[in-house]
């Protein structure tokens, strides 16, 4: 069982705050065919808050993120070993219902990927398949509140039945976030959610993450060090499939233990 672990949070740097580990990776290895993409990764992700994963391209950030909701299952050649423990349960166990697991974990992708359906139908998709709404009005309520929490409602309230693919890139990404939170997940995984967006759209998403982190556990992969510093309380650094170090964001950025982390932070490689 996971003990309560102390995490130092950036907004309270001088005291250690008790916070449960929501997700713990134990000796996680991932292979794509013969190629090993992750090597013995051990890391804990605290409940409620934002944890950032950084590292050079190809180091395994996306691969790690996709371990948390077992999306690697959908890749035929991918093989995952080790334990991923969420709320005390090893999700790599064969008994685990993947579909149920994924309904508890939202995912936002690098490229906005709204369904070619209306804005309404995009958000209603998850609640529909999980039977979360018992009536039409309940469904509408879920859709509206999800869009509101994603900060998109005011921009689209007049055209809920227009195609979601007709929105701007930043709006599409917020639609994808609304779609993810509509099923009330506990964890939200975001894989470079702002990489296709301009600074203004990025700022909106970052604001939104801060808001969402009050309720959800957010795991974000980002190439932008500034973004990691702005939004996260904890940061982990990956390099060539190894988790080099993790810790409070301010420590990782200001006082990293490992030379590789330091080189990456200061822009010497990657």
Partner 1 sequence: MASRLSAAQRRRIRIRERIIESALFLAATSSVLVTGGIVFVLLYESAAFFEHVPVITFLTDTVWTPLFADPRYGIMPLLCGTLVSTLVALAVAAPLGLTAALYLSEFAGPRVREFIKPTLELLSGVPTVVYGFFALLFVTPILQKIVPGLPGFNMLSAGIVIGIMIIPYVASLSEDAMRAVPQGLRDASYGLGATKLETAVKVVLPAATSGVAAAFVLGISRAVGETMIVAIAAGTQPNLTLDPREPAATITAFIVQVALGDLPHGSLPYQSIFAAGLMLFLLTLAFNIFSFWLRARYREVY
Ligand X SMILES: Nc1ncnc2c1ncn2[C@@H]1O[C@H](COP(=O)(O)OP(=O)(O)OP(=O)(O)O)[C@@H](O)[C@H]1O
Give the interface with Mg ion as residue ranges (CB under 5 A).
Answer: 62
* Residue whose pair of structure tokens reads 């709404």 in the numeric block: 133
Candidates 5, 17, 75, 129: give the one binding ligand X (CB under 6 A).
75
Q: Which is nearer to partner 1, 48 or 128 (CB)?
A: 128
Cα 254 from Cα 226, distance rounded (Å) = 13
**CA torsion, ordered 95, 68, 114, 233, to nearest 10 deg:** 150
Q: Is 79 in the site for ligand X (CB under 6 A)?
A: no
Q: Which is nearer to ligand X, 34 or 200 (CB)?
A: 34
Q: Out of partner 1, Mg ion, ligand X, none, which partner does residue 130 contact, by CB within 5 to 8 A per kind?
A: partner 1
Q: Out of partner 1, Mg ion, ligand X, none, which partner does residue 116 contact, by CB within 5 to 8 A per kind?
A: partner 1
Minimum distance, C-beta of residue 117 to partner 1, in the bound complex (Å): 7
SS3 (DSSP) at 73: helix
Minimum distance, C-beta of residue 245 to ligand X, in the bound complex (Å): 16
Cα 46 from Cα 208, distance rounded (Å) = 19
Cα 216 from Cα 48, distance rounded (Å) = 5
Site string for ligand X, 24-63 (x = CB under 6 A): --------x----x-----------------x-xxxxxxx
- Alpha-helical (H) ranges within 96-193 are 98-103, 119-129, 136-149, 153-156, 169-181
């Amino acid at each position: 069982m996971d003990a309560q672990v102390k995490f130092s949070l950036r907004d309270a740097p001088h005291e250690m705050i008790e916070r449960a580990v929501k997700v713990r990776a134990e000796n996680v290895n991932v292979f794509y065919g013969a190629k090993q993409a992750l090597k013995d990764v051990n890391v804990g992700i605290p409940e409620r808050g934002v944890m950032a994963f950084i590292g050079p391209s190809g180091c395994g950030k996306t691969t790690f993120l996709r371990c948390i909701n077992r999306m690697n299952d959908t890749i035929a050649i991918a093989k995952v070993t080790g334990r991923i423990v969420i709320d005390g349960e090893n999700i790599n166990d064969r008994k685990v219902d993947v579909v149920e697991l994924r309904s508890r974990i939202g995912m936002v992708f690098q490229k906005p990927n709204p369904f070619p359906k209306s804005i309404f139908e995009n958000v209603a998709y998850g609640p529909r398949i999980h039977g979360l709404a018992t009536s039409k009005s309940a469904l509408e309520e879920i859709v509206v509140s999800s869009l509101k929490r994603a900060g998109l409602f005011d921009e689209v309230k007049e055209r809920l039945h227009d195609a979601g693919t007709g929105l701007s890139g930043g709006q599409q990404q917020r639609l994808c976030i609304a779609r993810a939170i509509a099923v009330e997940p506990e964890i939200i995984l975001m894989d470079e959610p702002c990489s296709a967006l301009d600074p203004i759209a990025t700022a909106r998403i970052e604001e939104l993450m801060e808001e969402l982190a009050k309720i959800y556990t957010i795991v974000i992969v980002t190439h932008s060090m500034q973004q990691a510093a702005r939004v996260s309380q904890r940061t982990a650094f990956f390099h060539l499939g190894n988790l080099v170090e993790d810790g409070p964001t301010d420590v990782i950025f200001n006082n990293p233990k490992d030379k590789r982390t330091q080189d990456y932070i200061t822009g010497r490689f990657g």
